A = this chain, B = another copy of it.
Amino acid sequence: MNTLGHLYRLTTFGESHGVSIGGIIDGCPAGVKIDFDFIQAELDRRKPGQSSITTQRNEWDKVEFLSGIFEGKTTGSSIGFIIQNKDQKSNDYNHLKDTFRPSHGDFTYDKKYGIRDYRGGGRYSARETANWIVGGAIAKQILKDVRITAYVSSVGSVDCNKDYNMLDLGVVEQNIVRCPDPIVAKSMIDYIEKVKSEGDSVGGIVSCVVQNMEVGLGEPIFDKLSSRLAKYMMTINASKGFEIGNGFEASRLKGSQNNDVLESGNKTVSNRSGGIQAGISNGMDLFFRVGFKPASTLMKDQDSFDNKGNKVVVEGKGRHDPCVVPRAVPVVEAMAAMALVDAHFLSKNSKI
C-alpha cells in the first residue's frame, strides 16, 4: 500500500536513515515539459532547516530523476526518482532502539511487523513527504492553469480567521510560518519560538484553496472528490482532522442558512460547500482545512515503556520541528495536486 492514485500513481520507498528515499510516478502523460527548477523550489519549501522555527537538520533534498524524461519532456514511461539521505545522524537514535516514544509509531510498527528500523522514525518519518512533493510538483505542471494555495490558518490558539477572499494569497511565502496575514504570522512565529524554548511542540491548521477549478471532477459513489481529498490529506503525518467548505460548522446550521444558492447558471452566491456538490466539483473554488497535532517528539524527557515492558524515560534530544504546519503547507498542496490530476484523468471518460 505504498501506491497512491488510480491513473496518476505515486509509489514510494525509503526510511529516514536509509541510503535514499524515492519513488515512481506512473501515469504521467507524454509531452509534459518539466521545469526542474520548480520541482527543486517546491522541495526547498518543505526541507528542514529553512528557518529558525523548523528543525535544524540539514537534509539537502536534491531530487535525481532516473527515467521517464527525455530531452526535458516526459515520455509516458514511469518516472523513477531518488533523494539521497544526507546528514543522518543515526547515532542520535541509538537510545531509542527498544523504546516506544509516546504518540509515535514505535509501538504500532513493532507490534505489526515484529521488527523496526528505529533510526529516526524509519518508514513513518515525515521525510517521506519529500517524495510526495516530487509527485505533486509534476502534477502541478500537468494542471497548469489550476492554482493551488495552502497556508497556515492557525498555530495553537493563534488563529487567522479571515475568509481567504479577504487575504492576499500571494504573500504566503513571504513569512516563515506561511500565514498570509502578516500580523497574525508574527504572533504565530512568536508563539512557536516560545513553545520551542520550552522544549515543547504545538499543533496547527493548514487551509487550502484551489482556484480555476474544472467542473465535474470526482467520481460517484466511492471516489467522491471530497472523500478522495480526505484520504489524501489524512495520509499526511500528524493530520488529525479534515473538513471541506465550512466543514464541522455546517453541522450547526440550518439548511436555509447553509445552502449555496446559484446566482447564475453556473456560479453560487456563497461557497459553503467548498466547491463540491454530491462529491463532484462545481467549478467554484475548492476550500478545505487539515488539522495537525503537535509533533510528538519533545525536547523534554517523557515517561514511556520499552519493548520488554520496562519503564523508561525518553530523553528529549535530536533535531525536531516545534511546529509542523509551516512545512506541511507545500505537502498539502502536493497532495491536492496529485488528487486533482488523478480525478481529472478519471473524468475524461464521463461522457461518450
Q: Which of chain B's residues has its CB closest to A132's CB?
A: B221
Contact partner of A349 (CB less than 8 A), chosen from B11, B204, B345, is: B345
A121 to chain B minimum Cβ distance, whole angstroms, is 8
Given known A-B contacts A67-B13, A244-B240, A105 and B349 have beta carbons under 8 A apart: no
Q: Is the CB of A216 within 8 A of B67?
A: no
Q: Which residues from B are CB-within-8-Å of A157?
A: 252
Q: Which residues from B are CB-within-8-Å of A318?
A: none
Q: Which residues from B are CB-within-8-Å of A142?
A: 352
Q: Which residues from B are CB-within-8-Å of A304?
A: 261-262
Q: Is the CB of B13 within 8 A of A66?
A: yes
Most central of A67, A123, A128 by chain B CB within 10 Å: A67
Q: Is the CB of B253 within 8 A of A294?
A: yes
Q: Is the CB of B116 within 8 A of A203?
A: no
A227 to chain B minimum Cβ distance, whole angstroms, is 4
Q: Is the CB of B216 within 8 A of A111?
A: yes
Given known A-B contacts A222-B1, A227-B235, A303-B261, A293 and B9 have beta carbons under 8 A apart: no
Determine the distance from Cα of A31 to Cα of B14 in the docked complex, in whole angstroms.
17
Given known A-B contacts A21-B67, A70-B115, A222-B2, A248 and B255 have beta carbons under 8 A apart: no
A279 at the interface (CB under 8 A from B): yes
Q: Is the CB of B29 within 8 A of A349?
A: yes
A162 at the interface (CB under 8 A from B): no
Q: Which of chain B's residues has its CB closest to A111's CB?
A: B215
Q: Is the CB of B223 within 8 A of A227?
A: no
Mark the stretch among A55-63, A73-81, A165-173 that contacts chain B: A73-81
Determine the distance from Cα of A32 to Cα of B218 in the docked complex, in whole angstroms.
20
Q: Is the CB of A278 within 8 A of B124?
A: yes
A150-186 contact mask (Cβ, 8 Å, vs B): 1 or 0:
0000101100000000000000000000000000000
A239 at the interface (CB under 8 A from B): yes
A285 at the interface (CB under 8 A from B): no
Q: Is the CB of A255 within 8 A of B298?
A: yes
A259-294 contact mask (Cβ, 8 Å, vs B): 1 or 0:
111101110100011101111111100000001111
Q: Is the CB of A32 within 8 A of B352?
A: yes
Q: Is the CB of B77 within 8 A of A123?
A: yes
Q: Is the CB of A3 within 8 A of B13?
A: no
A44 at the interface (CB under 8 A from B): no
Determine the distance from Cα of A219 to Cα of B9 in the docked complex, in whole angstroms.
14
Contact partner of A242 (CB less than 8 A), chosen from B123, B218, B243, B293, is: B243
